[in-house]
Amino acid sequence: MTKLEVFFDPEAKEKEIASINQELNQPEIWKNSSKYQFLQQTKKRLEKDLSSYYRLQEKKEELEVLAELAHEGENVEEEIQKTLTTFEKEIEEAELRTLFFEADDARNAILTIHPGAGGTESQDWAQILLRMYLRYAERKGFKTEILDLLVGEEAGIKSATIRIEGDYAYGYLHQESGVHRLVRISPFDANKRRHTSFAAVFVYPEVEEDIEIEINPEDLKIETFRASGHGGQHVNVTDSAVRITHLPTGIVVQCQNERSQHKNKAMAMKILRARLYEYEKKKQLEKWEKIEASKTEIAWGNQIRSYVLHPYKLIKDLRTKVETSDVDSVLDGDLDEFIKASLIWRKKNMSQITNKNK
pLDDT in tens, 260-316: 889 999 999 989 999 998 888 777 665 444 445 545 455 555 689 999 999 999 999
Q: What is the mean pLDDT of the chain?
A: 85
Quote the CA–CA distance of 175 and 252 in Å, as a whole number.
Answer: 22
**Pairwise CA distance, residues 201 & 271, whole Å:** 15
Question: Where does CATH 1.20.58.410 sit in the chain?
Answer: 3-98
H/E stretch holding 183 reads: strand 178-185
pLDDT reported for residue 229: 54
Mean pLDDT calculated for residue range 25-39: 81
How far is CA 306 from its chain centroid? Answer: 19
Rg for the chain (alpha carbons), in Å?
Answer: 23
> Of the segments 122-131, 209-218, 290-299, 343-352, which one has the largest average pLDDT value?
122-131
Lowest mean pLDDT among 46-50, 252-256, 327-331: 46-50
**pLDDT, tens only, 56-97:** 888 889 999 999 999 898 898 999 999 999 888 888 877 787
Backbone φ, ψ for residue 158 (5° rounding): -90, -25
What pTM value is reported for the model? Answer: 0.74
User: What is the percent of the chain with per-residue pLDDT over 70, rounded to a whole number?
Assistant: 86
Which amino acid does the sequence have at 58? Answer: E
In the prediction, which pLDDT does 207 show?
Answer: 81
pLDDT at residue 235 in the model: 43
| Record: fold of 3-98 | Methane Monooxygenase Hydroxylase; Chain G, domain 1 (1.20.58)
List for the chain the helix, strand, coil content (%; round to 5).
50, 20, 30
Taken in order 194, 198, 199, 202, is the CA torsion positive or negative? positive
User: What type of residue sits at position 278?
Assistant: E
- pLDDT tens-digit profile of 228-276? 654 334 444 567 899 999 999 999 999 988 878 899 999 999 899 999 9
Query: Which range in 24-38, 45-59, 202-216, 231-245 is most confidently predicted, on average pLDDT?
Result: 45-59
pLDDT tens, residue by residue, 140-185: 999 999 999 999 888 999 999 999 998 889 999 999 999 999 999 9
3-state DSSP call for residue 144? Answer: strand
**Where in the chain is CATH 3.30.70.1660?**
104-357
Architecture of domain 104-357: 2-Layer Sandwich (3.30)
